[in-house]
């Protein structure tokens, strides 16, 4: 019951971009260094996020990446769906295109996975990058 590092690193990177939102394009190298992720690897992940429309790139020197929308309009679920595909604890209850299960509607285990899926999406879709930034702010103040 695991996410791969794709989703894990992807959220870290997007959160990093959110924290620097408004400061112009952020070079990936900086993101990778701050979040302690392989730069080469992150390059591949950000390409997927760009094609998915979550970030925009600025090429050339002084270039980098910027969130395509403000932090309060990007939710964790958006990121995970793009990097890991539709949320589905088992393939027969995928958010997208339900592969026809042989047992069809008399499969009771299916309803269990639907409940699990719904609880995951409920959490992921309720948290935006802006929420995460606010939470960081709060916990930073607590430490002082």
Residues lying near DNA in the complex (CB under 7 A) are found at 4-6, 25-29, 38, 40-41, 43-44, 46-47, 50, 57-65
CB of 86 to a second copy, least distance (A): 9
With contacts defined by CB under 8 A, name the span among 40-48, 49-57, 59-67, 107-115 that binds a second copy: 107-115
Q: Which of 90, 96, 98, 130 binds a second copy (CB under 8 A)?
A: 90
Helix (H) or strand (E) segment spanning residue 51: helix 39-51
The residues, ordered by sequence, that sit 6+ positions from 12 with a Cβ below 8 Å of its Cβ are 35, 37
Q: Report how many residues bind a second copy under the rule CB under 8 A.
A: 41
Instruction: Specify the stretch interacting with a second copy by CB under 8 A; choose among 23-31, 48-56, 57-65, 88-96.
Output: 88-96
Q: Which of 52, 58, 116 is nearest to 88 (CA)?
A: 116
How many of the other CB atoms lie within 10 Å of CB of 42? 19
Interface region with a second copy, contact rule CB under 8 A, candidates 21-29, 52-60, 65-73, 85-93:
85-93
Nearest-approach distance from CB 94 to a second copy, in angstroms = 9
Closest CA to 85 of 12, 7, 2: 7
Q: Which residues pair with 65 in a beta bridge?
A: 26, 57
């Amino acid at each position: 019951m695991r996410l791969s590092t794709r989703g894990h690193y992807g959220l870290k990177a997007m959160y990093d971009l959110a924290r620097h939102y408004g400061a112009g394009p952020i070079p990936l190298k900086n993101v990778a260094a701050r979040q302690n992720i392989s730069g080469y690897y992150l390059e591949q992940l950000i390409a997927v996020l760009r094609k998915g429309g979550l970030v925009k790139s600025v090429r050339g020197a002084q270039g980098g990446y910027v969130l395509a929308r403000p932090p309060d309009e990007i939710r964790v679920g958006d990121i995970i769906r793009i990097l890991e595909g539709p949320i589905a604890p088992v393939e027969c209850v995928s958010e997208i295109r339900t592969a026809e299960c042989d047992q069809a509607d008399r499969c009771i285990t299916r309803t269990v996975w639907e409940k699990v899926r719904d609880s995951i999406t409920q959490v992921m879709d309720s948290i935006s990058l802006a929420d995460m930034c606010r939470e960081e702010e709060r916990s930073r103040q607590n430490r002082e």
